[in-house]
Structure 1
């Protein structure tokens, strides 16, 4: 696999994780139930993809700004990890301001990354 293809695949995984985080609460709950995991899995999937993109950034094929577009999501997830464990409950996914903010950040990041990849 070429370096360019590795970078593209990493960004596609990041976009997939971002889209899940941007989805409404019912879609997110259905997603984790289908996987048989808790809501924290969405954060773990994002983290894996974010770190993968970080690892391939600078090889010359990714537009600058992909990491910066996704960083607010990473920052929000870091803040959420310092909160009580209840933030990772399905009830919290549906009703907490932390998850609402995360969805807004993810929506903006997804649009920004997609625009960067289309230029």
Structure 2
């Protein structure tokens, strides 16, 4: 895979983690702005998580980062398996401990990768 392709995949992962790392109020505003439910935060991560093997093979992710991303994936799998719709509601972003853990892991990885600067929330573009 070429460097531009890896750069694009890297950006997708950083954007997904940026959305997960945001404060609950920012996540709620993002959800409202685009008219999407909070599960889109997890689905965005799921899409990016599928890129982890390629990013690791390209040397963009070390074993510790891969392990943290795997744990984040397991957290969302657990939420899904529970089948409790309240855990996917807007209110859960601020109140649910699982969302707080997702924020903590995402923030830790972002600080390691991009420093203390906070990338902007991703923009959703719909092409019709």
Cα separation, partners in 2 of 1:56 and 1:24, compared to 1, 3 Å: closer
Is this contact kept in 2: 1:92–1:99, CA < 8 A?
Answer: yes
Q: Deviations over 1:34-71 (max 9, x none)?
A: 1111000010111111112334542x353434533422
In the alignment, is the contact (CA less than 8 A) between 2:10 and 2:55 conserved in 1?
A: no
TM-score with structure 2 setting the length: 0.76
Matched-pair contact (CA < 8 Å) for 1:7–1:61: no
The within-5 A match list for 1:23-34 is 23-34=22-33
Could you tell me how far 1:106 is from its partner in structure 2? 1.2
8 Å Cα contact 1:7-1:53 kept in structure 2: no
Q: Provide the residue aligned with 2:60 in structure 1.
A: 62
Poorly superposed stretches of 4+, deviation over 6 Å: none
Runs of 5+ consecutive residues of structure 2 not aligned to the other structure:
116-128
Confirm or deny that 1:95 pairs with 2:95.
yes
CA positional deviation for 1:21: 0.4
Q: Is the 8 A contact 2:17 2:107 kept in 1?
A: yes
* Stretches of structure 1 lacking an aligned partner (at least 5 in a row): none
| Alpha-carbon distance, 1:113 to partner | 3.8
Residue 106 of structure 1 aligns with which residue? 106
